[in-house]
Amino acid sequence: MAEKKESQGLLLRLVVLFLGTWLATELFAGIHADDTLTLAFVAVTLAVLNAFLRPLLILFTLPLVIFTLGLAVWLINAVILMFAGGIVPGFDVDSFSSALGGALIIGLTSFTVNMFTARNHVKVRVNQGGGKTGADGVQRLRHNRRRGESDDVIDV
Q: Name the residue among 147, 49, 150 with its Cα closest to residue 99.
A: 49
Pairwise CA distance, residues 26 & 106, whole Å:
12
Q: Are residues 60 and 22 in the same domain?
A: yes
Q: Are residues 73 and 90 in the same domain?
A: yes
Helical (H) or strand (E) element with 153: strand 153-155
pLDDT in the model for residue 133: 57
Q: Are residues 47 and 111 in the same domain?
A: yes
Pairwise CA distance, residues 137 & 74, whole Å:
48
CB contact set of 76 (below 8 Å; sequence gap of 6+): 54, 57, 58, 61
Q: Are residues 80 and 12 in the same domain?
A: yes
Report whether pLDDT(122) > 70.
no
Q: Are residues 17 and 92 in the same domain?
A: yes
Q: Are residues 44 and 100 in the same domain?
A: yes
Q: Are residues 146 and 111 in the same domain?
A: no
pLDDT tier for residue 3 given thresholds of 50, 70 and 90: confident
C-alpha 136, offset from chain centre: 46
Name the average pLDDT for the chain: 85
Residue 132 belongs to domain spanning? 125-155
Of the given ranges (31-45, 75-89, 120-134), which has the lowest mean pLDDT? Answer: 120-134
Q: Are residues 132 and 67 in the same domain?
A: no
Number of domains the chain contains: 2
DSSP letter at 146?
Answer: P
Q: Are residues 63 and 140 in the same domain?
A: no
What's the whole-number mean pLDDT along residues 37-64? 96
Q: Are residues 143 and 73 in the same domain?
A: no
Q: Are residues 65 and 134 in the same domain?
A: no
Q: Are residues 103 and 133 in the same domain?
A: no
The pTM assigned to this predicted structure is 0.73
Report whether pLDDT(77) > 60.
yes
pLDDT in the model for residue 37: 97
